[in-house]
Amino acid sequence: MTETSPSLFHDRKTIEQVEEGNELAPKFDEQGLISCITTDHASGEVLMLGYMNQEALSKTIETGEAHYWSRSRKTLWHKGKTSGLVQQVIEMRIDDDQDAIWLAVKVLGSGASCHVGYRSCFYRRVPVGQDREQQADLVFTEQTKVFEPEDVYGDAPNPTIL
């Protein structure tokens, strides 16, 4: 948290408060992070799974634009600041035990959210059950990239960690 911004969060006191109350009392994990599911507000498509620290969650609430904690760059990440693909929050929700956030967003610019260049980070399907026979492991669901990563990010290091 920055010193100028008073905490938006309540202490976690009881299960009833956390599950059934109207106090925002998020649970950050040992790394100080909370998971954030981001979906397209119109299509419902899941765009990405990100992580927020206290500052990122506070800034998202205060500004209405998605901020995350970049685990690869270890820095606050105002999504779209480099690429123009800002995520305007249409609705934010929190889950029962308040350890996960759901953002329904409108993506500005070309509408992409994935650093590989696709609209969604979830551009490959995993066949399951009876659908598995005779198929490759993964099936691409997006055929063309919305942007070429090199054009947007230049030679910045790829965030994927093996």
C-beta of 38: minimal distance to a copy of itself in Å? Answer: 10
Among 1, 7, 64, 84, binds a copy of itself (CB under 8 A): 64
Among 110, 116, 152, 153, binds a copy of itself (CB under 8 A): 116
3-state helix, strand, coil in the chain (%, to 5): 15, 25, 60
Does the CA dihedral 46-153-58-50 come out positive or negative? Answer: positive
CB nearer to a copy of itself: give 84 or 138: 138
x-or-dash string of contact with a copy of itself, 68-87, rule CB under 8 A: --------------------
Residues 6+ apart with CB under 8 A from 76: 53, 55, 56, 59, 67, 68, 69, 70
Of 133-152, binders to a copy of itself (CB under 8 A) are: 136-141
C-beta of 60: minimal distance to a copy of itself in Å? Answer: 7
